[in-house]
Chain A
């Protein structure tokens, strides 16, 4: 019997690309490798039925056949044509890119995965190649020679893989000499995919629940009320201050809208307690809505149309309740939408009044058309006018750095307000910024935005989040930073996981939570802990000291 020949590989042979080079293929010929951890699960058909979106069906990413509708190709090409005429930006982006490569190494997914198709210039090429083939004469004639290619099912799979490896963070556009915005392309590309029934579960479940019930997690109004009432009791237990809140109250001056992550998921819950403490301190005439119980808008992650539908709920509620203006909580994409899209989708909101702080009299003219003010702007204005009594020592256990969330920084330009608040609620020297090429406009994405906080996607998220975490690790090791602050609910949900992998010594906190810790009320009880029940500096030690002394006495 002939013996089977066994070849034992050397270590160099085990790693691809070292002892042998596979012949380099052109990028068009490399297919995505759908392994667990590298893709999000497809949406359950029932969600599509709930919101009336096309082609609800069960399918699996790893199956050869994605059961696309028979006319999928016409739908996509028609959709492209339609969008090329409606969005001048898209046509411009397709035509104008000179492939200078300035954007190539600026994407966190490229930096963290090393996959060349995560270079923004190549990500755009995935769609541009189809545009060239069907909408440009040269591409029609010369095909691949002119960088054009036929639209096939494989191309659709590739779009799915890479358009769902872009968090629409816009970092690349900052470095493009023409300002080409890959995020816009991703948004439109995902719309096209959605038009042939390709959607992801995490986004669609959130969208359908929000559309049907009020918030992404689909809680009933009763559950929402129950939870927030509980925070009022918690605030009273920790601070002695009861912070009651009213729901759906007509005639209130202000409607407050927060992301649902802030009243269901830790550590966002402590941020919500901070909001309540602040509003109670001011005696603000405000209410919250159980119908517009969601500041976030996952609709924006699948199509402009769905984003518009969900955004409209906030304004419908403001109208129904007859409030004068709106304050929004610490959310990321809610603000990008407010700042960049709301006006053309559902605005201007001229049935509301120009927002004026009832405490300081400041007129928020930047919110002239949206009539919605960011909680950080509102709070910073209060501090600037000396309206808050603050004791920074209650945050002395916190050494903070600040993550500029993509949406509030690149999407609307909020840089100073949160830093101003932080410096006023923390003891001096307790705030350190990360290196300049990783913050403000140049901030690195958390890697899990735009609908990626699904647990099945963890590996890719952690890789995409490496550039952010690497900078956090630097300030942790160099300055002893132990908390990462942010003003985004997705960040509060995903950064603890990201840091849990890369820098487990650092915890995540919202900024209003720190305000809640520091606020001094006249009638409060003596504070011994922060809102998370952690001992304040000096308190635990003092008690331990007493205990130790007592123990020593007993021994004697």
Chain B
């Protein structure tokens, strides 16, 4: 079971280390962790995808709350969120394969962001599932390089308080 936690933290030195350290010390599994600025320069938002059952999730949340610089933790309900990953993939390709790859990219509303004689770089955003499907299709051509941000997410409709 994976859970998506949206965590707002005070932008103090070491806050990322504290959170990462907590996960390793308490033996919790992190799938991905993302951190970025928010509308308020003093506050950052982390999106953490955690693996585990309800009990694990409860401990993760409570232990995170104990960190002095953690302000707020919300578990995002997967049914009512906008959830995005971004990936950059460099795919090997011959001149002949180019149009086929461009078609695949189009289908996924992905962009070609770099063209080289023997490769293409594709940028795509979307949910994890979508990006995995895209990656699967491109695997046949040979993936030369790959980088993925991990999930960021926000609730739909209203600002989480």
Do A and B originate from a single complex? no
